[in-house]
């Protein structure tokens, strides 16, 4: 199909940018704990929070990036400008790592005489980090949608290929992460942070060049502001709150090619209080009857309902991402103390331990897309094999299992450390192979694989077309809030468990802490969250992507008299969405 061919001609540019940008941004974030703890001399808890706050802010700013692309700029312009900002941010971080006056003097870790970074040093360091976060947010929010819009959702063939596109996007996303976690982190650890950051800078420069090179092939969106339309629905529903809704047939459909949206969405029977926005008030003056702040179309109302319906699903995934955040903080420190030797001459760098779940995802995703989905599709009849919400639920269950396994592995690590008298030697290697934490990394990798792609495709397909960059960004916003939730939980746990002068669960010397209890706490929170998610998923109504959503060249008109809405003179009897 010609449309499909165009979509896959655009895809290589998208996948290249995703890989390069992910390698650049994650190489800074994944080893940020090591830089903050070892070079900037922040405490364990503070360094962990620096990582989660930075990653959280970067992903949260994807919402701003999506907002700018959907409402003011195009996706292309947002990606290029954001890419330049990300380049400047990486450059500042590289300067902070390379200029001696911008880092505190070297000292023995955990030595009381160690001085942390000064105010001016922190200004350069954090300034670069958050400029990088701002740029990365704009790129990440729009790059997946830039390619996805080339697939025709009303074609059964291209609907299936859209799923493959998102799975392939995530594979390249993971490959970029793998490059960051292995090659770039290895360079940071064994050559210097300066060289590692300069390579990241080169990756991002190349990414912006590739994004610009694909300009002639892209389908460019025309920014429009749906915010006013959403506000009109809320205001009109309130103003018409006393009007009865006898049946969906009395609602104002508007033209089939809605003048505000360019498409039509069928009526649903959830959030029925908003339906009053689409009722004609014949008791009002004629000019007031057709005011956009008094009368909206069913499509406008349904757009607001779509946003309201996906919010509970979005909220239910935040805890999962709080669990995933541990890969870059507590679990990373756990792996640092273990025997990371693969051969006599090679050992895994501490930050590269986080590559394990990424490797598992890169291996598992093609199997999922090429074997599981076709088999499941024959059984269920669903183009994605299983529904998006079912896919997300599998990820949530795996997240619970990963924390339970992590707690058991930590108990074993502490037991070995005690046997060898290493509890008071935080920098010593515990004679326990790094392979032990591969189990929890494997499970958490599968959890991320099921949830991330399921969420991204879910938000893209279910949200209104006019806010697709913003809706896709919700996948990253969920990650963001997960990181912030992790920081909050770490702060609360530290405050509560150190009352009375104790070391608490998360001291700088983790051998004297109780990380296993921390993991079990996260498992318990995740279990409660899963129950909430199931309730939200059972309540959710999928959007109908059939012919009802097609834009057609027909008009409707309001009849004088009883409140009826007609389509070329006939009463609309469209069925409610199941």
The string of DSSP codes covering 301-313 is HHHHHHHHHHHHH
Q: Which residues, in sequence order, are CB contacts of 126 under 8 Å at separation 6+? A: none
Task: Kindly give the interhelix angle for 298-316 and 515-539, rounded to the nearest 10 degrees.
Answer: 160
- For β-strands 338-339 and 430-433, DSSP reports them as parallel
Give the separation between CA 389 and CA 448, rounded to whole angstroms: 14
Q: Give the pLDDT of residue 133.
A: 94
Q: Left, alpha or beta for 561 (phi > 0: left; psi -120 to 50: alpha)?
A: left
Give the separation between CA 90 and CA 418, rounded to whole angstroms: 42
Q: Give the pLDDT of residue 556.
A: 33
Contacts by 126-129, CB closer than 8 A, 24 or more apart: 127/92, 128/89, 128/90, 128/91, 128/92, 128/93, 128/94, 128/95, 128/96, 129/28, 129/32, 129/54, 129/89, 129/93
- The CA-atom distances, in angstroms, between 26 and each of 3, 32, 200, 327 are 34, 9, 9, 13
Q: Could you tell me the sign of the dihedral formed by the alpha carbons of 4, 5, 7, 12, in that order?
A: positive
Q: Where in the chain is the domain with CATH 1.20.1250.20?
A: 1-223, 304-546
Q: Give the pLDDT of residue 548.
A: 33
Q: Give the pLDDT of residue 18.
A: 95
Residue reference for tokens 């793998």: 178
Return the SS3 of 430: strand
- Judge contact between 142 and 66, C-beta under 8 A: yes
User: Which H or E run contains 556?
Assistant: strand 556-558
The one-digit pLDDT tens for each residue of the chain (578 residues) are 344 567 788 999 999 999 999 999 999 988 888 888 777 777 777 787 788 788 888 999 999 998 898 888 888 999 999 999 999 999 999 988 888 777 776 766 556 667 777 788 888 889 999 999 999 999 999 999 888 888 877 777 887 788 889 989 999 999 998 999 888 988 988 888 889 999 999 999 999 999 999 988 888 767 667 788 889 999 999 999 888 877 787 888 876 555 555 677 888 888 989 999 998 887 778 777 778 888 888 889 999 999 999 999 999 999 998 888 777 677 777 888 888 887 777 777 766 677 788 888 899 889 988 899 889 889 988 878 888 899 999 999 999 999 999 999 999 999 998 888 888 887 788 888 888 888 888 898 899 889 988 898 899 888 888 888 888 889 899 988 988 888 888 889 888 988 877 788 888 788 888 889 999 999 999 999 999 999 999 999 887 654 333 332 323 333 333 333 333 222 333 332 22
Q: Give the pLDDT of residue 405.
A: 93
For domain 304-546, which CATH number applies: 3.40.630.30, 1.10.510.10, 2.40.30.10, 1.20.1250.20? 1.20.1250.20
Q: Give the pLDDT of residue 5.
A: 63
Domain 1-223: assigned CATH number: 1.20.1250.20
Task: Kindly give the interhelix angle for 388-419 and 298-316, rounded to the nearest 10 degrees.
Answer: 20
Give the separation between CA 491 and CA 148, rounded to whole angstroms: 39
- The CA-atom distances, in angstroms, between 395 and each of 288, 324, 376, 445, 453 are 50, 11, 17, 9, 10
- The CA-atom distances, in angstroms, between 210 and each of 80, 90, 95, 276 are 10, 18, 25, 49
DSSP state of 565: E
Nearest to 9, CA basis, from 218, 222, 220, 221: 218
Give the separation between CA 63 and CA 542, rounded to whole angstroms: 23
Give the separation between CA 245 and CA 263, rounded to whole angstroms: 24
Q: Write out the two tokens for 316.
A: 């239910």
DSSP state of 12: H
């Amino acid at each position: 199909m010609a449309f499909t061919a165009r979509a896959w001609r655009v895809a290589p540019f998208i996948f290249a940018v995703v890989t390069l940008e992910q390698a650049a941004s994650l190489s800074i974030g994944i080893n940020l704990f090591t830089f903050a703890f070892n070079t900037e001399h922040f405490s364990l808890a503070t360094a962990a929070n620096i990582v989660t706050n930075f990653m959280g802010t970067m992903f949260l700013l994807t919402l701003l990036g999506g907002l700018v692309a959907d409402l003011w700029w195009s996706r292309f312009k947002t990606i290029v400008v954001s890419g330049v900002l990300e380049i400047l941010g990486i450059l500042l971080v590289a300067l902070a790592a390379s200029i001696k006056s911008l880092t505190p003097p070297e000292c023995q870790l955990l030595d009381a005489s160690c001085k942390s970074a000064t105010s001016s040093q922190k200004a350069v360091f954090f300034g670069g980090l958050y400029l990088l976060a701002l740029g990365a947010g704009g790129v990440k929010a729009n790059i997946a949608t830039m390619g996805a819009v080339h697939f025709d959702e009303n074609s059964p063939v291209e609907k299936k290929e859209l799923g493959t596109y998102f799975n392939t996007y995530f594979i390249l996303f993971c490959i970029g992460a793998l490059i960051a976690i292995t090659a770039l982190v290895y360079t940071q650890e064994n050559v210097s942070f300066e060289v590692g950051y300069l390579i990241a800078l080169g990756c991002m420069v190349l990414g912006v060049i590739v994004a610009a090179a694909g300009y002639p092939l892209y389908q460019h969106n025309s920014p429009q502001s749906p915010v006013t339309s959403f506000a009109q629905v809320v205001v009109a529903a309130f103003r018409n709150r006393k009007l009865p809704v006898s049946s969906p047939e009395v609602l104002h459909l508007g033209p089939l090619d809605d003048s505000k949206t360019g498409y039509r969405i069928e009526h649903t029977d959830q959030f029925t209080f908003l339906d009053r926005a689409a009722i004609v008030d014949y008791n009002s003056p004629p000019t007031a009857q057709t005011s956009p702040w008094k009368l909206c179309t069913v499509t406008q109302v349904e757009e607001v309902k779509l946003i309201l319906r996906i919010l509970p699903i979005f909220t239910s995934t935040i805890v999962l991402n709080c669990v995933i955040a541990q890969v870059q903080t507590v679990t990373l420190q756990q792996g640092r103390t273990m025997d990371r030797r693969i051969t006599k001459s090679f050992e895994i760098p501490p930050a590269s331990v986080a590559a394990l779940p990424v490797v598992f995802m890169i291996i598992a995703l093609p199997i999922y897309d090429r074997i599981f989905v076709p088999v499941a599709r024959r059984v269920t009849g669903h183009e994605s094999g299983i529904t998006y919400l079912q896919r997300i639920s599998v990820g949530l269950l795996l997240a619970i299992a990963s924390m339970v396994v992590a707690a058991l592995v930590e108990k074993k690590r502490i037991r070995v450390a005690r046997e060898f008298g290493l509890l008071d030697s935080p920098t010593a290697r515990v004679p326990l192979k790094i392979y032990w934490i591969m189990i929890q990394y494997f499970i958490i990798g599968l959890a991320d694989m099921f949830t991330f792609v399921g969420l991204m495709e879910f938000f893209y397909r279910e949200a209104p077309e006019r806010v697709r960059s913003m809706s896709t960004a919700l996948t990253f916003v969920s990650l963001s809030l997960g990181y912030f939730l992790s920081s909050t939980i770490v702060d609360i746990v530290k405050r509560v468990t150190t009352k009375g002068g104790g070391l608490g669960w998360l001291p700088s010397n983790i051998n004297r802490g109780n990380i296993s209890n921390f993991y079990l706490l996260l498992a318990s929170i995740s279990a409660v969250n899963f129950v909430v998610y199931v309730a939200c998923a059972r309540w959710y109504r999928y959007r109908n992507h059939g012919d009802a959503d097609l834009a057609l060249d027909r008009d409707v008109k309001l009849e004088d008299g009883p409140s009826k809405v007609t389509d070329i003179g006939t009463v609309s009897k469209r069925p409610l969405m199941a």
